[in-house]
Amino acid sequence: MFNLLREKFMKAAEKIKEKIYKKGEAEEVKKEEKVETKEEKKIEEKKEVKEEKSKGMSFFDRFKITRTIKRVIKKEVVIVEEDIEDILEELELELLEADVALEVVEKMIDSIKKELVGKKISPDDNVEEIVYNAVKNSILNILSREKIDLEEIIQKNRKEGKPTVIVFVGINGTGKTTSIAKLAYKLKNKGYSVVLAAGDTFRAGAIEQLEEHAKRIGVKVIKQKPGADAAAVIYDAIQHAKAKKIDVVLADTAGRQATNINLMDEIKKVVRVTKPDLVIFVADALTGNDAIFQAEEFNKAVGIDGVILTKVDADAKGGAAISIGYAIGKPILYLGVGQRYEDLIEFSPDFIIKKIFGEEDIKFSTEREF
Amino acid sequence: MLEKLSENLNKAINKIKNAMFVDKKLIKEVVKDIQRALIQADVNVKLVLKITKEIERRALEEEPPKGFSKKEHIIKIVYEELVKLLGEEAKPLKIEPGRRNVIMLVGIQGSGKTTTAAKLAKYLKKKGYRVGLIAADTYRPAAYEQLKQLAEKIDVPIYGDLSKKPEDIVKEGLNKFKNVDVVIIDTAGRHKEEKGLLEEMKRIKEISNPDEIMLVIDGTIGQQARVQAKAFKDAVGEIGSIIVTKLDGSAKGGGALSAVAETKAPIKFIGTGEKIDDFEEFDPKKFISRLLGLGDL
C-alpha cells in the first residue's frame, strides 16, 4: 500500500540530493584502496537493487546505495527555493495521485521547503541525511503519535466489572458492519467475550447481515425491530453485557452523510446516551479528498477516538491513511485488508513510517469468506 | 452537494469576469485555480492536467467569435471542456420495447449497487415498465435479504437463492423473468485485485448477455477511480453507463469523472440519498452550468 508513496518520496529526495551536489561542484573522489573495494561491492548492490527494485530494502539503504561513489561538496552550498521548486512541484502532483488530500500535500511540501530552503550545507555535512530527514519530517509532522491500546482498555474495564463499549460510525458503505465482525472475531480469538449491538435499524438487511456474521463467529447479537431507536438497542446490549459479564460491546450504527443534519443529530444522541469508551470512525481507503471532510465532521459531532481504514486491499495508495490522521489527529487502529474475518491488521503511525521508509509492502489475500 | 467544487470554480470564473483586461498572466492564474479546484474534487490528476492544458491553449490561441468578448469566450471554453469531460449530451437509459431488457450492475464493495438496483427498479416501474430483480450477490451476508426488503417496499418481484452459485442464480432468474420489460441483476462488490471475482463477473455477463452493464461508483472515491473503472471495463468488455452514488454528502464526484473518461461510458443517473426516490437522471450540460454557477446556457 505504501509502496507507491515510498517510490515518490525516494525519487524526490534523490533529485534534491543531485541538485545539491551539482551546486556544490561535486566531484568523484577516490579514496584509499579500502574504500574502493567497498565501492565495488556497492556497485554490485546497486545492480541487485535495480533488478529487484523495492524488495526488502529500506528507504535510507537504497538512498545511500545510489551514492555508489563517495561524493563530496567542494564548497558550501545554500539551497534556495528555485533549486527545489520543480522537484517539489512534481512530488506534489505525485502525492495527489496517491490520494493524499490537497491540504495535506501542501503541508508536506511546505515542511520540506521550510527545512531545506536557506540551509547551508558545508563539505562536512552528510547530504543524504539532510535530505532524508527533511522528507521524513514532512510526514512525521502530519502524523499523530497518540496511541490507543484497546486490550489495555478492555482489561481495565474488566477489572472494574464493566464492559468496554465501542460505537462504530461513518458514511454509507465504508464497511462498518464488516469491520465489526472482523474485530469481534479478533477479540474473541484473544479470549475476550463479545456481544454485538444491531444499532443500524435503518438500512434494509442490516440487522440480518450482522446476525449472519455473529452466527459464523459465534457471538450474540442484541437487536430490535427495523426502525427501532438505535440508542435504545445499544443501551440494551450494554445492559446485557453487564448482566452476563461480557467484556466488549461492539455497536453498529447506520451509515450517514456528514452533511445530513438530522442523522448527525441522531448519532450524537446515540453517543450521549450510550457513553461509549471508544467511538471508531470507519473510513474507506479509496476515498479521495472527501476523507478529510468526513473525518472532521464526525469528529466535531461525536469525537472520534480512532479510525479503521477499510478496502486497503483494493490497491489503495495510502493517501487516505495519512490524510485522515492529519485531519483529526487521531490514530488509525486497524486496516481492513480483505474479505475474510482475519483480514484486519493492526496499525500505528510507526507502521506508516516503517512502510514508507522501511522494508517490504503489505501482502493481501484475495480469498473470500463473505 | 458539490458546493465546494462549485465555489472554487466560481472563484476562477469570477477572476475572469472581474479582470480589467485578459492577458497571459491572468489565464495562467485562472488555469491554476481550476486545476486546484478539480484536483480537490478528486478528478484524476493527469486528466486535470490534460484538460487545463487544453483550456489554456484555447484561451491563448482562439479568437472570440463575433459578438463575444474575450472574457465571455474564455468562460465558454472552460464550460465546453468540462462538458466534454462528461461526455457532452445527456444519454438517457434506453429500454427497447416489446422484449426483455437486461441490466447488470457492477462495482466496488460498498459503492451502493444494491440500493441502486432498487432505485433503478422503482424509476423504471414508474415509467410503466414491468421490472424483475435478480439478487446475485451470494457473498455478503444478508445481501439477498437487503434487496428483498427493498423489492417488497417498491412491490417489484425478486429472484434469489442463497444455496446457489451466482451464475446459476442469474440463469434461474432469467428463466423466471421471461415476461418482464427489464431485468436488473445485482452482483457482489469486487475490486480490481480480486481476479477470481472479476472472472466470475465475466461469466455472469456471458450467461445474461446484458443490454447494458452499469458501473456503480461511489461519489467519494479518489484517484483510484480510474484504474478500478479500467479493471471493470477490461473484465466485461464494455461498460455501458455509470451511476454515481452518495452525491448527497460532501463528495465532489470527481473520481466518477475520471471513470467516465476511462470507460468512455456516460453517467446516466446520480444517487442523492438513501431513500428509494433519491435518484436523478443526469445531464452533463446542466450539471456543469450548475457547477460553474452559469445558469442554463
Which residue in B46, B139, B248 is closest to A368 by CB distance? B139
Examine the domain organization and report whether A28 and A91 are in the same domain: yes
Examine the domain organization and report whether A135 and A165 are in the same domain: no
In a domain, residue A357? The reply is no
Examine the domain organization and report whether A256 and A182 are in the same domain: yes
In a domain, residue A65? The reply is no
Residue A366's pLDDT is 84
Residue A317's pLDDT is 86
Query: Which residues in chain A have Cβ-Cβ distances shorter than 8 Å to B141?
Result: 208-213, 216, 370
Residue A32's pLDDT is 45
Examine the domain organization and report whether A7 and A124 are in the same domain: yes
User: Cβ distance B201 to B194 under 8 Å?
Assistant: no
Residue A34, pLDDT above cutoff 70: no
Among A93, A178, A284, A286, the strongest candidate for a mutation testing the B interface, having the largest count of B CBs within 10 A, is A286
Residue partners of A129: CB distance under 8 A and separation at least 6: none
Domain end (from A143, A174, A202) = A143
pLDDT tens digits, A74-128: 888 899 999 999 999 999 999 998 889 998 999 999 999 999 999 999 888 888 8
pLDDT tens digits, B23-35: 999 999 999 999 9
The number of C-alpha atoms within 13 Å of B178 and in the hemisphere containing its C-beta is 3
Question: Average of pLDDT values for A192-200?
Answer: 98
Question: Contact B141/A370, CB-based, under 8 Å?
Answer: yes
Q: How far is CA A22 from CA A15, A48, A75, A120, A172, in A?
A: 10, 26, 11, 15, 52
Examine the domain organization and report whether A128 and A163 are in the same domain: no
In a domain, residue A185? The reply is yes
A358 known ligand binder = no
Any CB–CB contact under 8 A between A115 and chain B?
Answer: no
Question: Contact A288/B142, CB-based, under 8 Å?
Answer: no
For position A289, which CATH number holds? Answer: 3.40.50.300
As a whole number, the mean pLDDT across chain A is 88
Range of the domain at A218: 150-348
A173 known ligand binder = yes
In a domain, residue A358? The reply is no
Residue A181 distance to chain B (closest CA, Å): 11
Query: Which residues in chain A have Cβ-Cβ distances shorter than 8 Å to B110?
Result: 172-175, 284, 311
Domain end (from A110, A143, A176) = A143
Query: Which residues in chain A have Cβ-Cβ distances shorter than 8 Å to B192?
Result: 314-315
Examine the domain organization and report whether A100 and A161 are in the same domain: no
In a domain, residue A75? The reply is yes
As a whole number, the mean pLDDT across chain B is 92
Residue B296, pLDDT above cutoff 90: no
In a domain, residue A353? The reply is no
- By C-alpha distance, which of B81, B92, B23 is closest to B52? B81
**pTM, 2 dp:** 0.88
Any CB–CB contact under 8 A between A260 and chain B?
Answer: yes
Examine the domain organization and report whether A118 and A228 are in the same domain: no
The CA distance from B281 to B297, in Å, is 19
Reduce the DSSP state of residue B162 to 3 states and report it.
coil
Domain count within chain A: 2
Question: Average of pLDDT values for A230-255?
Answer: 98
A118 known ligand binder = no
Q: Interface pTM (ipTM) of the complex?
A: 0.87
Examine the domain organization and report whether A103 and A173 are in the same domain: no
For position A14, which CATH number holds? Answer: 1.20.120.140
Examine the domain organization and report whether A111 and A220 are in the same domain: no
Percent of chain B topping pLDDT 90:
71
Examine the domain organization and report whether A205 and A340 are in the same domain: yes
Question: Contact B252/A290, CB-based, under 8 Å?
Answer: yes
In a domain, residue A363? The reply is no
Examine the domain organization and report whether A23 and A98 are in the same domain: yes
In a domain, residue A48? The reply is no
Place of cell 434487496: B147
Q: What is the DSSP letter of B221?
A: B
Any CB–CB contact under 8 A between A179 and chain B?
Answer: no
Residue B294's pLDDT is 75
Residue A174's pLDDT is 97
Domain end (from A116, A143, A170) = A143
Residue A318, pLDDT above cutoff 50: yes
Examine the domain organization and report whether A180 and A103 are in the same domain: no
Residue partners of A215: CB distance under 8 A and separation at least 6: none
Residue partners of B197: CB distance under 8 A and separation at least 6: A366, A368, B188, B190
A252 known ligand binder = yes
Question: Average of pLDDT values for B244-265?
Answer: 87
Q: State the pLDDT confidence band at A65, using cuts at 50, 70 and 90.
A: low
Cβ atoms within 10 Å, residue B290: 15
- For chains A and B, CB pairs below 8 A equal 162
pLDDT tens digits, B146-202: 999 999 999 999 999 999 999 999 999 999 999 999 999 999 999 999 999 999 999
